[in-house]
Amino acid sequence: MAAPVASKAGSAGTTSKPPFPELDFRSGARVEELNKLIQEFTKHDQREYDDQRALEIHTAKDFIFSMLGMVQKLDQKLPVANEYLLLSGGVREGVVDIDLDELNVYARGTDYDMDFTLLVPALKLHDRNQPVTLDMRHSALCHSWLSLRLFDEGTISKWKDCCTIVDHINGATNYFFSPTKVADWFYESISIVLSEIQKKPQRGMPKVEKVEKNGTIISIILGVGSSRMLYDIVPVVSFKGWPAVAQSWLMENHFWDGKITEEEVISGFYLVPACSYKGKKDNEWRLSFARSEVQLKKCISSSLMQAYQACKAIIIKLLSRPKAISPYHLRSMMLWACDRLPASYLAQEDYAAHFLLGLIDDLQHCLVNKMCPNYFIPQCNMLEHLSEDTVMLHARKLSSVRSDPAEHLRTAIEHVKAANRLTLELQRRGSTTSIPSPQSDGGDPNQPDDRLAKKLQQLVTENPGKSISVFINPDDVTRPHFRIDDKFF
């Protein structure tokens, strides 16, 4: 990676030479320059929100929660007391492991200014203390079918129209929860609710600019004041505890040992609507450890996160065609690096350039060897299905990055600057009027909603990805009551 600094001094009587600047051996780039470019990228990529923007964020989130309450009221399928996981960043940013080839392309600045992913449990299995055993007989590793036999008759009756039916020789009928049918139902229900909401618009209500079904997720873009917010809403199955197939992972040593408790890491997991390369789309779900990843992120140094974000920006543009590598692969490699390398090394504040170069090397190594183990289920190779031609094409593209990382960083900086300019132009056009929350009815700006918005700013800017428990009264869907970890709002 980087060439060592030259010896500080020669033998006695000789003239000492000043040390060489630290260089990257492969590209000849100065490490100091790469660090500065990463810092510049981070400055433009990370945005700070003022009170008005915080209120707009709250207004959009409040609208989404109220909409989901109305979806629940529509046919009582969703749990009344549900627990959502809100993640900063859309599905295209790799916050969950879902295939990107079925998703329409949205660009920050052009289509939206901020993006979020919301995992919404359609079903919950929260009363189990033992490792959860899933039906993986028909699936590839890291995937599962889900039989409604695990649930009561009422649940089966509610959801049987979203199942595939398998009749056994003994005459019994088994209903398998279908990710595609659930996504179809969810999209139709959301469309009905949004149509009803728009018939009776309230003052300050967000403008629904786009509602699209992207594979098995529903993407909604809301206009609130001068902001456009993308919500990727993912119907999931939620479990407390830990899957038996990932039990051996807990026996290994990890970088988070001693920093967070095992109970925090294994508090729950999900099935997300995504199948394997050769799987049956109507039946197969993918295991997701998004809740655990939120906890692990707390243990990753800021310099490594900066390198990861910069590397992600480079590969999203460079490796977009054909679709083979997603930012989630890069996230997995970063977690493996955290286990492999000393914590004292990863904590170095001025090592962002080393980390960026290392992530590119790691990604290229994974492509050449067609091997990227899932962090939680290492026996699952996430690149196994790719053709030799595809992996070598992407490996060659990465080789060009490795030969001139500074130039690719400058390009990433220009892209994020251009997106920010588009956002600022929109804000200038729409900043003359402030946008009240739908619940504030345009009243006193010091009403509780304003204070709530400021508290909620912590959720988005300081604690992205916190678990939110939402307790919705179906008879008053305008007022969701929710808890962020142990704080009630």
For residue 85, pLDDT over 90 is answered with: yes
State whether the Cα torsion 180-213-124-193 is positive or negative: negative
Tell me the pLDDT band of 169, cut-offs 50, 70 and 90. low
State whether the Cα torsion 124-127-129-135 is positive or negative: negative
CB count in 10 Å sphere of residue 422: 17
Under a CB-based contact definition with an 8 Å cutoff, are residues 309 and 41 in contact? Answer: yes
More confident residue, 428 or 377: 377
Tell me the pLDDT band of 100, cut-offs 50, 70 and 90. confident
Summarize the confidence of residues 400-409 as an average pLDDT: 96
Least confident of 10-14, 33-37, 125-129, 266-270: 10-14
Supply the pLDDT for residue 441: 33
**If 0-12 CB within 10 Å is exposed, 13-18 middle and 19+ buried, where does residue 488 land?**
exposed
User: DSSP assignment, residue 243?
Assistant: B
Please give the Cα distance from 481 to 489 (Å, whole number): 7
Q: Cα 174 from chain centroid?
A: 33
Residue 85's H or E segment, with its range, is: strand 81-88
For residue 188, pLDDT over 70 is answered with: yes
Supply the pLDDT for residue 333: 96
Supply the pLDDT for residue 78: 93
Tell me the pLDDT band of 485, cut-offs 50, 70 and 90. very low
Provide the residue type at 467 as one letter.
S
Summarize the confidence of residues 225-239 as an average pLDDT: 94
Strand pairing category for 285-288 and 143-144: antiparallel
**DSSP bridge pairs for 12:** none
What percent of the chain has pLDDT above 90?
Answer: 63
Peptide bond into 19 cis (omega under 30): no
What is the distance in angstroms between the CA of the first residue and the CA of the last residue of the chain?
49
Supply the pLDDT for residue 128: 56
Query: What is the rounded average pLDDT for all residues in the chain?
Result: 84
More confident residue, 470 or 83: 83
Summarize the confidence of residues 441-455 as an average pLDDT: 40
Summarize the confidence of residues 397-404 as an average pLDDT: 94
How many CA atoms, within 13 angstroms, populate the side-chain half-sphere of residue 316?
Answer: 23
Under a CB-based contact definition with an 8 Å cutoff, are residues 325 and 319 in contact? Answer: yes
More confident residue, 22 or 441: 22
Supply the pLDDT for residue 477: 41
Under a CB-based contact definition with an 8 Å cutoff, are residues 184 and 173 in contact? Answer: no
Instruction: Write the pLDDT tens digit of every residue in 454-465.
Output: 455 555 555 545
Please tell me the pTM assigned to this model: 0.84
More confident residue, 324 or 470: 324
CB count in 10 Å sphere of residue 347: 13
* Strand intervals (E) in 274-381: 285-288
Tell me the pLDDT band of 443, cut-offs 50, 70 and 90. very low
For residue 312, pLDDT over 90 is answered with: yes
Please give the Cα distance from 457 to 56 (Å, whole number): 10
**DSSP bridge pairs for 114:** 229
Least confident of 196-205, 249-258, 335-344, 366-375: 196-205
Tell me the pLDDT band of 453, cut-offs 50, 70 and 90. very low
* CATH topology assigned to domain 32-417: Beta Polymerase; domain 2 (3.30.460)
